[in-house]
Structure 1
Amino acid sequence: MSDVELAEVESFSLDHTKVLAPYVRLIGVEHGPKGDAISNYDIRLVQPNEGEIPTAGLHTIEHTLAALLRTRFDGLIDISPFGCRTGFHMIAWGEPTPEQVGAAIKSALEDLVERVTWDDVPGTEAVSCGNYRDHSLHSAKEWAKQVLDQGISLDAFDRSRLV
């Protein structure tokens, strides 16, 4: 073992073999020096170690959710894909409940599947995206349909409470 000091990261302590995706999971809430709260969510769309969303589809889901979620609740700071391509971290001001986040994710994915056209996807040109050629609305819609068909759980370990 090396002598490099590493901080413990909650996501790497999570037993990825026990979770049941798709789900919304509150990772934690941080409070700033002035009392402001920032909530960190695990938005898991695909079962870890059993599948992954191809990068082009994940990229399009990311860009579309970034815009759609901001119309569904106040305080979204960022939604960023996991490197494993099974979902996203979502960071928001305040303390939105899993129910609020789950409902917003479900609604946004429904719009992605049913209403979003290529012209609606933000950041698909060289001036607005660092890898604008790596998008697929078709893939994004197919993966979003799969998530919606399975339902989004409010508990990472128990699928009895769906949004």
Structure 2
Amino acid sequence: MPTMNVESFNLDHRHVDAPYIRVADVKTLPKGDVLTKYDIRFCQPNEDHLEMPTIHSIEHTFAELSRNHSENVIDFSPMGCQTGFYLLMAGEPAVEEIRDLVATTLTDLLGVDEVPAANVVQCGWGASHDLEGAKRAAQAMLDQRGSWAQVMKA
């Protein structure tokens, strides 16, 4: 297959072993700033996925709570394939540091009583949330933390 411009399009999704966390891309901007994109994969591609209200609730909650633990979070956004998220960070934090940030933030998510900004004023589709689904997905991800470093099938 030809090399694509989008890094994840060059990843053979048949051979990954979700859940995992990996560095997906590192970019040095024209003025020298560095951005690092992490692939936070919850589900095995083409075998499982998260439902959109669950994704939406994880996205809102993680985006809000992760900033309590790091000043370098730029963005947390869902993958269109519904199998995970991209975490964009300023600098080039070690993947181990990101695994700790993800674990801490998902643990925080388990303790919330409502999704941040899940209303018609602060969200474009405030009715489309599933906090209980987000908590189940977060717990499932946390339960498999020991495998987060294993990206490819053995």
Shared fold (TM-score greater than 0.5)?
Answer: yes
RMSD over equivalenced CA pairs, Å: 1.6
Other-structure match for 1:3 = none
Return the alpha-carbon distance in structure 2 between the equivalents of residues 138 and 95 of structure 1: 33
Counterpart position of 2:148:
153
**Alpha-carbon distance in structure 2 between the residues aligned to 1:156 and 1:74:** 27
SS of match in other structure, 2:59:
helix
Q: Which deviations, in whole Å up to 9, do the C-alpha atoms of 1:29-50 show, x marking residues without a partner?
A: 1111111101111110111111
Aligned to 1:112: 109
- Tell me, yes or no, if the aligned pair for 2:53 and 2:130 is still in contact at 8 Å: yes
Aligned residues: 151
Deviation of 1:155 (Å): 3.5
1:130 aligns with 2:127: no
Q: 1:143 aligns with which of 137, 142, 148?
A: 137
Bigger Rg, which one: 1
Unaligned runs of 5+ in 1: 1-5
TM-score normalised by structure 1 residue count:
0.87
Aligned to 2:32: 35
Q: Tell me the residue number matched to 1:15.
A: 12
Quote the Cα distance in structure 1 between the aligned partners of 2:100 and 2:34: 21
Which of 74, 78, 85 is the equivalent residue of 1:81? 78
CA distance in 1, matches of 2:89, 2:153: 24
In structure 2, C-alpha distance between the alignment counterparts of 1:105 and 1:8, rounded to whole Å: 27
Give the partner amino acid of 1:32. L
Counterpart code for 1:154: A
